[in-house]
A and B are shown apart, each in its own frame.
Chain A
Amino acid sequence: QQQVKQSPQSLIVQKGGISIINCAYENTAFDYFPWYQQFPGKGPALLIAIRPDVSEKKEGRFTISFNKSAKQFSLHIMDSQPGDSATYFCAASGGLSGGYQKVTFGTGTKLQVIP
């Protein structure tokens, strides 16, 4: 129930195209859904996050769409650029596990944006 399933594992998109990464969860206690971006040789960094009281959050070219009933959320990168090439992790947290809200990460999507 703590799993967050992420797809696809890898993604190749043309420059200017839309990149879409999907995640699904089972635990209905989750109430915080961040996305992290990781460049090679670096640690993950928070990109954008959403709480389930809204269905969409947009920050620049990055948008999270959230479907509470389907227990799914996705990251859309509009006008994808070669500089967006990185590994993206979805995550979820909420409920209590050992007295704190544990963050569960998806398995990651390696995005390559080609010119």
Chain B
Amino acid sequence: DARVTQTPRHKVTEMGQEVTMRCQPILGHNTVFWYRQTMMQGLELLAYFRNRAPLDDSGMPKDRFSAEMPDATLATLKIQPSEPRDSAVYFCASGLSSGISTDTQYFGPGTRLTVL
């Protein structure tokens, strides 16, 4: 049963600390998305990778957020320094794209981040 995995599932940290969230996309998928979900803003796209290359990170606060794909089996989202307003659930999703078309996105279980 192929699924997207995310670690950690929960993270509580203090303001100013660095936070790193990891995602393992489904094997064979070539697209990875990072989303942030809050009650106020809903699902916000933070970053999009295709074949490990970042195609869109316009939704990401550039001064503190960074996203990378060191290899095809690992995507990371880093926040440095973290702030209380970053508290949210962060989802990773992966999919298989044959070009520019958007196929089904398979979401991971999310990382619930609380910044005190």
Binding site for B on A (CB under 8 A): 32, 34, 36, 41-46, 49, 89, 93, 96-103, 105-108
> Contact: B102 with A89, CB < 8 Å?
no
- B109's partner among A34, A41, A97 (CB-CB below 8 A) is A41
The proximity string for B residues 71-106 relative to A, scoring 1 for CB distances below 8 Å and 0 otherwise, is 000000000000000000001010001001110111
Known interface pairs A43-B91, A93-B102, A96-B100; A105-B43 also in contact (CB < 8 Å): yes
CB atoms of A99 and B104 under 8 A apart: no
Does A98 lie within 8 Å of B56, measured CB to CB? Answer: yes
The answer, among B42, B43, B100, B104, for a CB contact under 8 Å with A46, is: B104
Among A32, A44, A49, A100, the residue within 8 A (CB) of B50 is: A100
- In the assembled complex, how far is the CB of residue A43 from the closest CB belonging to chain B, in whole angstroms? 3
Contact of B55 among A44, A45, A46, A98 (CB under 8 A): A98
Known: A43-B91, A96-B100. A102 touches B45 (CB 8 A): yes
Instruction: Known contacts A96-B100, A97-B56, A98-B56; decide if A103 and B107 are in contact (CB<8 Å).
Output: no
Residues of B whose CB lies within 8 Å of any CB of A are 4, 42-43, 45, 48, 50, 55-56, 58, 91, 93, 97, 100-102, 104-110
Apart from A43-B107, A46-B106, 6 more pairs, CB < 8 Å: A43-B110, A44-B43, A89-B43, A93-B102, A103-B105, A108-B43
Q: Which residues of chain A come closer than 8 Å to B104, judged between CB atoms?
A: 34, 46, 49
Give, as a whole number of angstroms, the nearest-CB distance from A31 to chain B. Answer: 9
Residue in contact with A99 in the complex, picked from B42, B93, B100, B101, CB distance below 8 Å? B100
Closest 8 pairs between A and B when the two form their complex, measured CB to CB: A43-B107, A101-B102, A93-B102, A105-B43, A107-B42, A98-B56, A46-B104, A44-B107
Do the beta carbons of B48 and A100 come within 8 Å of each other?
yes
